[in-house]
Amino acid sequence: MTTQSAPLFTATVLGSPRIGPNRELKRAVEKYWSDKIGRAELDAVAATLRGNTLRQLADAGLDSIPVNTFSYYDHMLDQSVLLGTLPPRVAGVADDLDRFFAAARGGTYDGVDIAPLEMTKWFDTNYHYIVPEIGPDTTFTLNPAKILAELDEATSMGIATRPVIVGPITYLALSKAVDGAGAPIGRLDELVGIYADLLELLADKGVGWVQIDEPVLVTDNVDNAGALAENVYSRLGGLTKRPAIFVATYFGELTDALPALARTPIEAIGVDLVYGGVDALAAVPELAQKTVVAGVVDGRNIWRTDLEVALAKLAPLLGLAGKVVVSTSCSTLHVPYSLEAETELDDALRSWLAFGAEKVAEVVALSKGLSQGREAIAAEVEASNAAVASRKADPRLNNAGVRSRIAEIQSTGASNRGPAADRHAAQQARLNLPPLPTTTIGSYPQTTEIRVARADLRAGRIDATQYEQIMRDEVAAVIKLQEELDIDVLVHGEPERNDMVQYFAEQLEGFFATQNGWVQSYGSRCVRPPVLFGDVFRPKPMTVEWATYAQSLTTKPVKGMLTGPVTILAWSFVRDDQPLADTAAQVALAIRDETVDLEQAGIAIIQVDEPALRELLPLRSKEKQEYLKWSVEAFKLSTAGVRDDTQIHTHLCYSEFGEVIKAIADLDADVTSIEAARSHMEVLDDLNAVGFGNGVGPGVYDIHSPRVPATDEMIMALREALAAVPAERLWVNPDCGLKTRKNDEVIESLRHMVEAAKAVRSEQ
């Protein structure tokens, strides 16, 4: 394949959302899981969504459209199916789709209990992927049915598409070695042969371009990444029969891998020019023979593109690259579908934003401006300039009172608490908890009744007083359940909260919550990230009334439940006009005020969750320490306003913790609950290695799977934990909140958890 024979294109995106503009896929998949619909109906919903996406992108003016970006759960799991690497434990599941879901979620199939694959964050985003397992007996086998079917679908619509696949370096770098196997990247040469077979097959199908995603090349996670990239893509580019190859990178700037890729025979290289710069491209003369796919429209945040700035980035590329294509910086999987549904925005705020559909329009406009000149898009540039000016002048973006309070606290050292040993003694005297105390992370199932009540409130069928009473009844039921289960430290269950970030965003100034801004977090789990657009402050208490009501129902301690500043940033669309550290401090100040009010209301334990601490970690080593410094400072700012006898908990989940393990210790929370069930308590040794000496609650069961673990299984997990942590520091809890689980699963699992804790407690 030569560049001349490859179809030309000028405007594209690297991928698209798949959940549906109204979460149609989520609802269909969950109905399939609960046997309310069959495979045919599920497939019909999926086909409609794929067809709509292709047609909309074509109608918007893109001349190359990605395909094979759809998934029933996760694109990395799809890649495992494509490469034949699903683990042997799911092989006995006869139906292909059920086998796929068994790998993702676990469960019981034909009487066999199957544990799911691990799940972790996709680079520094809030999307989660299913981690492939590569064992010594793993055999790569090409299974291209899905990709071929989606190509046929697009062909039947008369739409030119290019299939998207995860690249071999990224796939293996993000995989996990199991059963004593060596590092998966060691099997790269073998895997490249499977990719070669796939490219030949695609060429036989008449495919003009293939997009191979290699985002790991912008990180420090792979040794000799440049050499590996040059080797792999020299081999694939040198095939005699293949489509044109477009290697896409995103989430950061290519360093050594850029000239390495440019030296190979591939036709196109995608570069992220939102999170990377143009200067590095000028030092690579080989780009003069390549197509550069320039990611100048931010695919993972919702701010309108400054078209003047974007055109200024694109212009120099015309003299550096053989051809320039305008694109989003990454897939628009990470942003909502369209601004059209957001009817409650003020005009100024609306003018600052661009969701998925608007970003596609920006790509098309910039492509036109690049080829025809700025005058061809004069109206679009004028609107962009007006939005930029409006945003800079808006007083909501500069609150002098908030900024001066933060400066005062930071200058006086009031963001540190007393010694941990003194705090532990004061807290034990106040709380008098048994060894291995049991608790849960915060949320309990969001039942149909809760969701109906919330919908009724929005629709005006009930008023706020009626809604509050329904929520109080739910709180009372959750407290009663926990007392019946004999859990030691209770939670109120959070029935009133739509989401652990949105709930707070709706009560803080400087945020707005979208009406339909859904994005996929994992599988069928969708979130609606709020938009943090201005300086943040707390007008009034947010959780005190609910916490004190729950505490009034029991003599056992009830935790006040808050979301930490870093997680609020990570799970929001955050302003990009000031350093993240400054924004984090503003959110931390608001959370600090809430902890003080909870303490004054008599709440003895306050949990400030930071599950996203690892998520925002920069992808390049040189930037990581600065991030960890300010993220730890933000947590301490949010929690240091309380007395020593008030116990501060935090919670972290579903990340690779290795790089942030020292920061977890530096948070200095009195108790840290942490994901550990799927990874078999591996994190505890890491914590010990950095001198962590406070309380820790390694999750004893995985709440992201519908399976109910047996008591003996949890006893075994606790014994594993006790090998690393003494009983006086060990807490017993699930991996995460219970919001997405069903009541019967939760009750049985928690009953087993308490039984396990009591059994192991008696052994001490």
* Distance between CA atoms of residues 682 and 709, nearest Å: 19
Q: Fill in the amino acid letter for 572.
A: S
* Distance between CA atoms of residues 392 and 280, nearest Å: 30
* Distance between CA atoms of residues 236 and 210, nearest Å: 12
From 334, 424, 704, 752, active-site residue: 704
Residue with tokens 């730890």, as numbered in its chain: 632
Tell me the backbone φ, ψ of residue 353, rounded to 5 degrees: -110, 155
CB atoms under 10 Å from CB of 728, counted, come to 11
Long-range contacts of 100-105 (CB under 8 A, 24+ apart): 100/72, 100/73, 101/33, 101/72, 101/73, 103/77, 103/130, 104/73, 104/74, 104/77, 104/130, 104/523, 105/33, 105/523, 105/704, 105/705, 105/706
What tokens does 203 get?
């060429």
What tokens does 247 get?
């290697």
Is 75 annotated in the active site?
Answer: no
* Distance between CA atoms of residues 305 and 352, nearest Å: 9
Tell me the backbone φ, ψ of residue 753, rounded to 5 degrees: -65, -45
Dihedral over Cα of 388, 390, 392, 394: its sign: negative
Dihedral over Cα of 123, 129, 130, 134: its sign: negative
Tell me the backbone φ, ψ of residue 646, rounded to 5 degrees: -95, 120
Q: Name the CA dihedral angle for 590, 128, 360, 327, rounded to a multiple of 10 degrees.
A: 110
Taking phi over 0 as left and psi of -120 to 50 as alpha, with beta for the rest, 445 belongs to beta
Concatenated DSSP letters for 277-294? Answer: -SHHHHT-GGGGGSEEEE
Residue with tokens 């608007």, as numbered in its chain: 358
* Distance between CA atoms of residues 178 and 190, nearest Å: 18
* Distance between CA atoms of residues 384 and 382, nearest Å: 5
CB atoms under 10 Å from CB of 497, counted, come to 23
So which residues are the catalytic ones?
Answer: 704
